[in-house]
Chains A and B, each alone.
Chain A
Amino acid sequence: MIKDIDKNKGNDNDITRLLDNEPVGNTVQVVHVMGDGAFRQRLLEMGFVRGAQVTVLKNAPLLDPVEYMIMGSHISLRHSEAAQVEVTDKDAEFCDMEDAFNGVVETQVAGVDPMADNVLRVVLVGNPNCGKTSLFNNVTGAKEKVGNYGGVTVDSKEGWFSMGGRKVQLVDLPGTYSLTEYSPEEMYVRTYIRDNRPDAILNIVDAGNLERNLYLTTQIMDMNIPMVVALNMWDELEKSGDKLDIEMMSRLLGARMVPLTAYNGHGVKEVLQATMDAIDESEQDTRHHNVNYGTLIEDSLKELGALCPDLDRYTVLKIIENDQHAIELASRQENAAQVQDTAARMRQHIERDYNDDIVSIITDLKYGFVRGALAEALTPNPNRATGVTKPGYSLDRLLTNRWLALPILLVLMWLMFEATFTLGAYPQDWIESGIEWIGNWIGHVMPDGILKDLIVDGIIGGVGGVLVFLPQILILFFCISLLEDSGYMARAAFIVDRIMHRVGLHGKSFIPYLIGFGCGVPAIMATRTLENRRDRLVTILTVPFMSCSARLPAYLLLVAAFFTAYQGLILMSIYLVGILVAALTAILLSKTVLKHDKTQFVMELPPYRRPTARNATIHMWSKGKQYLQKMATIILAASIIVWALGYFPRHEGQTPQEQIENSFMGQMGKAIEPLVEPLGFNWQMGVSVLTGAAAKEIVVSTMGVLYTGETDANEESTSLKQKLQSATKPNGEHVFNPIVAYSFMLFILLYFPCIAALAAIKREAGWKWVAFEVIYTTGVAWVVSFLFYQIATRL
């Protein structure tokens, strides 16, 4: 099978060379992946196996990383990482992968009663970005986040559906390339399946990339759990002109295969029906198909399996592979020492016989099985577009062009923020007029008194002040959704990867940062995909600098009120300052308290897809709904409390201005005023940032309540924007000007995150880091705002 290349000689061998030296456009064949551990395993899983062809597509704008195409997938690797892959000419004959195809062996599995625990449980398992969450949402009616990049789902999501009168729990698991022990998502999925033993596994595969996706399927086959394979993105396979003989493929795998297009729901019912049928069949004794690894390994599996009859074939194979978690399971056996000795002897024998390490051998054999099966069942369209001939590649060349990529990224960001302002201004005016009208109407029909003050100043002033920004929130999330669904966001990670690497951030940190622009809580949870604890901590502690959507109303209010031109650019500059501070913090942390070696990272670049208005609208509406729910709950309640603190105690004969200054809120504000005065803030602004601890939108609602109190009793109520523009200090000077407004925005951007985000940090990192985060972020916010205000006022 393996002919003339000695892998242990590395690049001394004159017919092999290293992948990082290959010029753009070259296609070569993989010989060997050097090194060991998680990164090597990840490369093997992603298809860097003996004999696989790799094409060098292009360098990123900053020359690192490099985009490669392997098994139809686009992979981003840094030069230092590509240097671990030995390659040779694409036509060199040293390995025939189809030799590794030995067909299947059958295992007798005893029938089980699926309703034994009164609930049917089906789990979704598949590669990252293959459409699991789209199917989950479609089946259960949930609205979990989906994106055209991997790593969106980081823990299990549960939903329910019923079919034929039976209620089924559907569990969406994180995407994984394999079920080994090298990364958190792999371990999570593996442990979940082992501990919960589902009634069926619904394996979602990308029909357009079967070779890579079916690798995971071969591992699931060994678990001997009823399985259905859903061929997602079936429409893309049909469009490509490839023909798949589903019957034959199902026979080979011993599992039902059903075409599916999850995003529009085509085939969902058939997939669920096939799953229910597979569960029903499992009540009887059945014969499961497993990959045939050849006589030597099959004999070893039989011998070792006989020593530990309680363990499934998957675990027995893992024991031979020297997988520590499988060995730990084996150690609970009475004959643990015998099992381990036998496994070690077998491993040595197999490695000697195949002249390779055990992990590579098993991976090669699994890929050999997949290739052999596809050679039987798949008829590729000879004219199928791949790599540079794919539609959208010319657009990709422009978007990732060495000189244009970064300017295009900045222009797209600017367009997004500009659209938020210009398009959002019209509906904002309508909502503002509506709120004003309601306020005036209530003011006229209700008799003067405490209840009227609560409704007009507290509720309408507080909640209304935040509600007016709903259109902008919807527009911004519509634009972000379009960029995410198109696949551009993953390219943005490719473009800026070198910069992230330089500042000590892991490539995987990009996804939490991206999610952080929406909300910090899921972003902090998304760091779970980072293997190294120090990488995780650096990302967790810097994610809050990515400005979340809850801070947006404050920026929109202040930019609209105090900047008449370049509003989109000013808003964008706030986001860029957040990114810059995150980068500087990452450098500081990774060079001091969280010093560590840089970990390697391989990223898959998803294909470009035409974003659909339906998906973007669903995403936008879900964000809008969350925003409205927050209005009706926490913001409403907080506005009432802020109003009460600003209303009591009452003193006869005082002006509204004096009244609010002598209130509980006023006294609190005056106490902290010396701290915020050097930043250009008054006490109302100081109090607003404090109340923002519960939720950042409350900064605006607090200002809405506090500045309503300043309105003259006879004055018709005006918008919060106008009130801020006309607010004056006792000496007659305006409280706000563009410098104060920008300084205030900087503080809101950088100071400590809300309680929900701090709770997430506590869960993921512990109290010590929560304390650090509160002190550090607030310190940074104070210093940055202070420097900006003091310098800008002197210029």
Chain B
Amino acid sequence: MSTYSIMETIVVLGIVAVALVYVLRRVIKTSRGKGDCGCGCGKDCQCNHKPVKKY
């Protein structure tokens, strides 16, 4: 197995691990009732991460 292949495998396994952690965290959060308002923070709908509009 070449060095490139080994490096490539490590990178891919790393990506898979990150994806797995992300999905598990998301599933746990969701099952605890934390929705996602779509602002990207992954917290619940009352996260108030929206910008404050000035008048």
Contact = CB atoms under 8 A, between A and B. Distances in A.
User: A and B from one assembly?
Assistant: yes
Interface of A: 139-142, 157-163, 167, 269, 272-273, 447, 449-451, 454, 521, 622, 625-626, 629, 633-634, 636-638, 640-641, 644, 694, 755-756, 758-760, 762-763
B26 interface: yes
A161 B30 CA distance: 29
B55 A637 contact: no
B30 A450 contact: no
B27 A694 contact: yes
A640 B53 contact: no
Given A626-B38, A755-B27, A158 B20 contact: no
Contacts of B26: 633-634, 637, 694
A625 B53 CA distance: 21
Contacts of B30: 755-756, 759
B10 to A, nearest CB: 10
B12 A141 contact: no
Given A141-B50, A167-B52, A451-B8, 19 more contacts: A141-B53, A157-B45, A159-B50, A162-B54, A273-B55, A447-B4, A449-B4, A450-B8, A450-B12, A454-B12, A629-B38, A634-B22, A640-B16, A641-B23, A694-B23, A694-B26, A756-B30, A760-B33, A763-B33
Interface in B20-38: 20, 22-23, 26-27, 30-33, 35, 38
Which 3 residue pairs spanning A and B have beta carbons closest together?
A640-B19, A637-B19, A160-B52
A158 B16 CA distance: 37
Most buried by B among A140, A622, A637: A637
Contacts of A160: 48, 50, 52-53
Interface residues of B, number: 32
B31 A142 contact: no
A759 B32 contact: yes
Contacts of B31: 755, 758-759, 762
Interface of B: 4-5, 8-9, 11-12, 15-16, 18-20, 22-23, 26-27, 30-33, 35, 38, 40, 42, 45-46, 48, 50-55
Contacts of B48: 158-160
A449 B19 contact: no
Contact of A141 (B4, B45, B51): B51
Contacts of A269: 55
A644 B16 contact: yes
A711 B55 CA distance: 58
Contacts of A167: 52
A637 B23 contact: yes
Contact of B35 (A142, A451, A521, A636): A521
Contacts, number: 91
Contacts of B51: 141
Contact of A625 (B19, B20, B27, B38): B38
B25 to A, nearest CB: 10
Contacts of A139: 53
A634 B50 CA distance: 22
A449 B5 contact: yes
A447 B4 CA distance: 11
A377 to B, nearest CB: 29
B23 to A, nearest CB: 5
A763 B33 CA distance: 7
A671 to B, nearest CB: 21
Nearest to B5: A449
Nearest to B55: A163
Contacts of A451: 8, 11-12
Nearest to B22: A637
Contacts of B52: 160-162, 167
A622 B50 CA distance: 14
Nearest to A754: B30
A163 B54 CA distance: 6
Contacts of A450: 5, 8-9, 12
Contacts of B35: 521, 756
A755 to B, nearest CB: 5
A595 to B, nearest CB: 29
30 contacts: A139-B53, A140-B50, A157-B46, A158-B46, A158-B48, A161-B53, A161-B55, A162-B53, A162-B54, A162-B55, A272-B55, A447-B4, A449-B4, A450-B12, A451-B8, A451-B11, A622-B38, A625-B38, A626-B38, A629-B40, A636-B19, A637-B23, A637-B26, A638-B23, A641-B23, A756-B35, A759-B31, A760-B33, A762-B33, A763-B33
Contacts of A159: 48, 50
A622 B20 CA distance: 28
Contacts of B55: 161-163, 269, 272-273
Contacts of B19: 636-638, 640-641, 644
A457 to B, nearest CB: 12
A633 B22 contact: yes
A640 B50 contact: no
Nearest to A755: B30
B35 to A, nearest CB: 6
Contacts of A644: 16, 19
A755 B45 CA distance: 17
Most buried by B among A142, A167, A272, A758: A142
A161 B54 contact: yes
Contacts of B16: 640-641, 644
Contacts of B27: 694, 755
Contacts of A142: 50
A155 B15 CA distance: 39
Nearest to A139: B53
A521 B8 CA distance: 40
Most buried by A among B4, B23, B40, B42: B23
A540 B32 CA distance: 18
B8 A449 contact: yes
